[in-house]
Amino acid sequence: MHIPHELPDEFPDETVLITRLTKTNYLFRRAASRYDAVNRQIFRIESEEEPTADEVLEQLKKERLKLKDQIARMLSRTERRM
């Protein structure tokens, strides 16, 4: 089963860097792990596996977006240093 919005889907040109940072950078790993957890929870809600209020879903989507922006900044900073 494919879960939409996984990090490799969101950053297809950065999969190698994502893998490397996940292994070597604690802050990146923590952000990526939280992103994955939130994204999977959103998927369960949207697939009606885990019903919840619309407000909760919207809050989770906002959190996912903030995490995605944070991850994008980390990827960008790392690329500039290379």
One pLDDT digit (tens) per residue for the chain, 82 residues: 799 999 999 999 999 999 999 999 999 999 999 999 999 999 999 999 999 999 999 999 999 999 999 999 999 998 777 6
Backbone angles phi, psi at 33, to 5 degrees: -65, -45
**What are the residues whose beta carbons fall under 8 Å from the beta carbon of 61, sequence distance 6 or more?**
42
The answer as to whether 2 is a domain residue is no
The full length of the chain comes to 82
pLDDT at 81: 79
pLDDT score at 1:
77
Is 29 a domain residue?
Answer: yes
Tokens 């893998």 belong to 19
Residue 76 lies in a domain: yes
Please tell me the total count of domains within the chain. 1
28 assigned to some structural domain: yes
Tell me if 46 is assigned to some domain.
yes
Interatomic CA distance for residues 63 and 77, integer angstroms? 21
Domain holding 28, by residue range, is 7-81
pLDDT of residue 64: 98
How high is the pLDDT of residue 79?
A: 77
Q: For residue 1, tell me if it sits in a domain.
A: no
Q: Does residue 13 form part of some domain?
A: yes
Classify residue 67: in a domain, yes or no. yes
